[in-house]
Amino acid sequence: MDDVTDTMSGIETLNQRVREELKWLEFPARSWVPEREHQGEKVHDVIVIGGGMAGLTASGTLRRYGVLNHVVYDMAPKDREGPWVTYARMDTLRSPKTLTGPCLGIPVLTFRAWYEHRFGVQAWETLGLIPRTMWMEYLVWFRDVLELPVENGVLVQKIDTADHGLLRLNILRNGKAEEVLTRKVVLATGRDGLGGAYMPDVIRTLPEHLRAHSADMIDFAALKGKRVVVIGAGASAMDNAATALEQGAAQVDVLVRRGDIPRINKFTGIGSQGVVQGFVNLPDEWKWRFLDATLSAQTPPPRPSVLRVSQHPNAFFHLNCQIEEIAADGDALELITSRGALATDFIIAATGFNVDLVKRPELQVFSDRIRFWKDRFVPAPDNRYNGVINSELANSPDLGPAFEFQPKADVICPDLRNIHCFCFPATLSHGKVSGDIPAISDGADRLVKGIVSHFFSEDCAIHFRNLEQFETPELVGDEWQDTSLS
């Protein structure tokens, strides 16, 4: 397919095929959840917060199981949901192109189906890794072809309790305040879903025009001709360093605390359906052991990302280098490190995210009631990698089987079971099924099956009454005659 006409023709052919196959699957399933109103207000069955990959997959799965009265809120403009065209700065995805991702187990919804219909089979064969912006194009198509109910420009400010076990959300829709009711909330809010960007105090206390986090919207053009320091050895560190270099930074120094850059992706080594389906049922000790070993090893940056940096002669890697002190002198900075002094003009902290409910005002009503792993589990001394308790794991939410929050001991808060944490912090409870491409459909299936089960149980009296009142006959009485035995 060499021109726009052929491309659009290919996509329309795929769209027709999707519609046909979904019809064969009876997708979406017939709506079966009883409609509700409360004091004249419509009640949603589910509100999904976040219209990125996880939120879209959750929405598609809700439709697959007949929970049609739901909506997806995202505060970003349409086509800018998630990180892919905002703060993500890699050229290509790390994940292999063959992973099925958010397709819901339906072949025509895979990235491969979309790509082959747009560019042709031969182009697929020669494709290496998936370009980042192209992945966003695919997600936009996925949302549109499934007609998912995404509403953009909606910021959820507060989740609160309401009567009859409902939740009330205070939202800003394009700047206008509203209130909406729902039975369930799904937090599909990404890597920083229960907190935000983490920045060491020594950097955070600097003037804002001299530092940024790798997840910030950074004006890289303004860094042309300047010296830039990037803190970290992960993928985001390399991608931000490369972007600064490509935008004309005079010098980029990458500071790595460890004596070597991590080289082995431990999760890749155990990637299997056994992990996807079985991790959630492991004893707590084994869950902790698996993730503690993985996080302690750290995930290496992709090889192309490192080469993207090292090809520049004005890029420098400093291993075993920790910041001890930073002094600001006007618009210049002097870093005192474990390897000596370093002058720079701007610092980018590629230091990840942490769980910190203070940064999530929408959860403040529940923040002191949510149970975390540290509230009930302390790993034995021989089950601590390098002898220390991993704080990231300790601060993970202790979730139920459908990703629902659970209350701390001696806390009564039944509404917590109606808030589901379908984002990266769920990893210790459920494995890597809620934040990354490989198993996102499996995670969404687990999430929605739990929600469906809860709805049916909670409404079982209504369903039984409907059963008693169901009187559509299969037979009308003229299909046979009673034969006398005499």
Q: Average pLDDT, whole number, for the chain?
A: 95
pLDDT in tens, 366-386: 999 999 999 999 999 888 887
Per-residue confidence (pLDDT) for residue 267, from 0 to 100: 81
Residue 155, strand partner residues: 172
pLDDT at 8: 67
Q: Give pLDDT, residue 38.
A: 95
pLDDT the model gives residue 3: 45
pLDDT at res. 271: 81
| 320 Cβ contact list (under 8 Å, min separation 6) | 256, 257, 258, 259, 338, 339
Let me know the angle formed at the C-alpha of 60 by 467 and 170, rounded to the nearest 5 degrees.
90
Distance, in Å, from the CA atom of 322 to the CA atom of 338, rounded to the nearest integer, reads: 5
pLDDT at 1: 42
Question: Average pLDDT for residues 295-317, to the nearest whole number?
Answer: 95
Mean of pLDDT values over 436-453 = 97
What tens digit of pLDDT does each residue of 450-463 get?
Answer: 999 999 999 999 99
Q: What is the pLDDT of residue 6?
A: 61
The mean pLDDT value for 198-205 works out to 95
Task: Identify the band that residue 9 occupies on the pLDDT scale cut at 50, 70 and 90.
Answer: confident
Q: What is the mean pLDDT of residues 287-310?
A: 94
Helix axes 132-145, 53-64, angle to 10 degrees: 20
**Can you tell me the mean pLDDT for 176-190?**
97
The more confident residue out of 323 and 7 is 323
State the pLDDT at residue 452. 98
Amino acid letter, residue 120: G
Q: What is the pLDDT of residue 428?
A: 97
Average pLDDT for 297-321: 96
Q: Kindly report whether the peptide bond that precedes residue 28 is cis, defined as omega within 30 degrees of 0.
A: yes
Q: For the ranges 85-99, 158-172, 313-327, 376-390, which has the lowest average pLDDT?
A: 376-390
Encode 173-189: b = buried (16+ Cβ within 10 Å), e = exposed.
Answer: eeeeeeebbbbbbbbbb
> Alpha-carbon dihedral of residues 93, 96, 98, 103, nearest 10 degrees?
-50
Contact 346, 250 (CB under 8 A): no
Backbone Cα Rg of the chain = 26
Q: Which pLDDT band holds residue 434 (cuts at 50, 70, 90)?
A: very high
- Please say whether the dihedral angle defined by the alpha carbons of residues 467, 471, 475 and 477, taken in this order, is positive or negative: positive
- Judged against a pLDDT cut of 60, whether residue 391 lies above it is answered with yes
d(CA 261, CA 269): 18
How confident is residue 7, by pLDDT bands cut at 50, 70 and 90?
A: low
Give the distance from CA 342 to its chain's centroid: 36
Q: 309, 245 in Cβ contact below 8 A?
A: yes
| Rounded Cα gap, residues 271 and 293, in angstroms | 15
Give, in order, the Cα–Cα distances in Å from 264 to each of 98, 102, 299, 303, 475.
21, 26, 7, 11, 66
pLDDT tens profile 327-342: 998 899 999 999 999 9
Q: For residues 426 and 210, what is the distance between their CA atoms, to the nearest angstrom? A: 34
pLDDT at residue 5 greater than cutoff 70: no
pLDDT in tens, 112-161: 999 999 999 999 999 999 999 999 999 999 999 999 999 999 999 999 99
Phi and psi angles of residue 423, each rounded to the nearest 5 degrees, phi first: -145, 180
pLDDT at 4: 41
Give pTM, 2 decimals. 0.94
Residues 247-291 pLDDT 10s:
999 999 999 999 999 999 988 877 889 999 999 999 999 999 999
